[in-house]
A and B are shown apart, each in its own frame.
Chain A
C-alpha cells in the first residue's frame, strides 16, 4: 500500500457572491480515495459536493488545504507537472451535452484526447474506445456531432474520452442525473464493468443514496460544506451515526 491516489486535507474554499458576500462552499474537508476504490460523496444539492469534485480535478485551487496526487501536493508541482499529473484524474459530468464541444465530431473529440496523451495508432484506439463503452460498431459514430447522438450515447462518448487518457481515477459528478431512467442502469453497469476491467477508482458525487449503495466501497456524507460522516458503505448506509445521514436515508423511497 503506497500513498492514496487522491488525498484532500483540510480543504476550505469559498466563492464571492455577486453582492460581495463570501460564501464558504467547502469547510475543512479531508477525504481520501485509494487505488481502485469507489468513494461516494453524497449530500443534498448545495452541500459543496461539486466544488469538492472540481478541487479534486484541479479545476479550482482551494483557498486553504492541500491536494495530494499519489502523495505529492499540487503546490509542489509546476504548472506543466500539474497538467500532466491531473490527466490521471478524468471527469464525467452530469450533462453530457454540455461536456462535449458542439463543433467537434466524435472523431475529433476522441482524437484530441488521444493526441494529448501522445498515443500512437490513434485510428485504432478510437474505435476500441468507442466499442469499449458500448458504441458498436465504432466506425459508424466517427463522423457524428454530439447532437446527432442520443443522451445515453453522449454520456458513453464522454466516458470514452475520459478513458482515452488512461485515468486512474474518475470524478463522476451526478453522471446519471442527466440521463433518462431507461439508460441509467446501462450507464451504471458500464461504469461498474470499467471498474472491474481497468481497476479504476471513482469519486462518485451523487445525491442518490441508491447509487451509493449499489456502487460504493466507502461513503462520505456532506452537509453545508462539511463531511459529517464517512466510512465503509455498508456501515454508513445501514447504521448511520449522524442525524443528518439518518434523515438523508429516511428520505429515500424504498421498494418493498
Chain B
C-alpha cells in the first residue's frame, strides 16, 4: 500500500517553496511587516523620547495636535505614549499565552494521537469541554474571582486555547505514525516514546505554527476585552485599559477611544492574517 507523504516534504527545498507561497500572500507579508514593526517599537520603547504614559499634566483632554499627536486624556496623559507603551502588554500576553497553549496542546495532542485508545478518548472529551465553554465569560469569571495580573490572564488564555492546538496535533500525529519511515524506525527497535518525540512530532509541528499565530491574536483580543471591563491591574498601561477610561468621553474626546481601539483592531487583524499566511505557506496544495 503506497502511502502519501504530503506535508512531510524534505526541509530545504520545501522551505523555498513555502517562502514563495508566503510571499504570494500579500496581506500576510504586510501583516508580517506590521508585527515586526510592533516588536521593534516594543523593544525600543525605553529609549524612545516622549513623555511617560503615566505622567499627569495640566493639558487635559487635548485634541490631537503637534504637541500631542494623538491627544491627551482626562488626566493630561499622552495617548500616543500610552499606545506605544501598551504594545508591550499586548505582545507579552499574546506571545506568552500562545506559547503556553502551543506547548500544552502539542504534548497532549501528540500523546492522544499516538497512543489512541482510552487516553485519546479522555483527553479529547476534556478538550471539548474547554471548547464549548464560552471562553470570554469563563476568563472574566476566573480573573474577577482571582484578581488581576498578567500571569493570571496568560494562564487563563492558555488554558482556553490549548484544545485548538491539541486537535490539530492529534490529527497530524495520527497521519504520520502510519507512514513507512516510522515503521522502519520501529523495526530498528527504537522505543515508542522516543519514536514519537524524534520522528513523529518534528514532522507534525508545521501546521501547529499557523494555529499558534492565530492564538496570539485571540489572546491579545481577550486581554484587551478583560482590561476594557476593568479586570486588569490599574497601574498597567494597556490598550484595553485606555479604552476603559476613554469610553466615558466618547462624545467629547473621540481620540481616547479611536486610537487604542484601532491599535487593537490592527494588531489582531495582523496576527490573523499572519496565521493565515503561514497556513497557506505550509499547505503544499496551494501552489503559488
Interface residues, chain A, with chain B CB atoms under 8 Å away: 50, 54, 57-59, 83-84, 86-87, 89-91, 93-95, 97-103, 112-113, 116-117, 145-148, 158, 161, 165, 178
Contact = CB atoms under 8 A, between A and B. Distances in A.
Nearest to B13: A147
Contact of B188 (A113, A147, A148, A178): A113
Given A91-B183, A165-B188, A102 B1 contact: no
B183 A83 contact: no
B11 A98 contact: no
B200 to A, nearest CB: 10
Contacts of B183: 54, 57, 59, 91, 93, 99
Contact of B11 (A86, A95, A145, A165): A145
B283 interface: no
Contact of A90 (B4, B12, B187): B187
B30 interface: no
B189 A91 contact: no
Contacts of B191: 83
B8 interface: yes
A87 B188 CA distance: 6
A147 B180 CA distance: 16
A98 B183 CA distance: 10
Given A95-B3, A145-B10, A100 B187 contact: no
A113 B190 CA distance: 9
Interface of B: 1-5, 8-13, 179-181, 183-191, 199, 202-203
Contacts of A148: 10, 12
B91 to A, nearest CB: 31
Contacts of A146: 10
A244 to B, nearest CB: 22
Nearest to A174: B2
17 contacts: A59-B187, A91-B184, A98-B3, A98-B180, A99-B184, A100-B181, A101-B199, A102-B181, A103-B10, A112-B185, A116-B188, A146-B10, A147-B13, A148-B12, A161-B184, A161-B188, A178-B2
Given A94-B2, A95-B3, A101 B189 contact: no
Nearest to A87: B189
Contacts of A101: 181, 185, 199, 203
Contact of B9 (A54, A99, A102): A102
Nearest to A146: B10
Contacts of A87: 187-189
A103 B185 CA distance: 13
A-B pairs with the 3 shortest C-beta distances?
A147-B10, A99-B180, A102-B10
A102 B187 contact: no
B184 A112 contact: no
A165 B188 CA distance: 7
A98 B202 CA distance: 16
B184 A102 contact: no
Contacts of A83: 189, 191
B190 A98 contact: no
Contacts of A98: 2-5, 179-181
A176 B9 CA distance: 22
A76 B280 CA distance: 50
Contacts of A54: 183
A50 B1 CA distance: 8
B86 to A, nearest CB: 40
B185 A145 contact: no
Contacts of A112: 185, 188, 190
A147 B12 CA distance: 9
A158 B187 CA distance: 12
A57 B187 contact: yes
B18 to A, nearest CB: 14
A87 B3 CA distance: 23
A86 B183 CA distance: 12
B2 A102 contact: no
Contact of A84 (B1, B10, B189): B189
A84 B191 CA distance: 11
Contacts of A97: 5
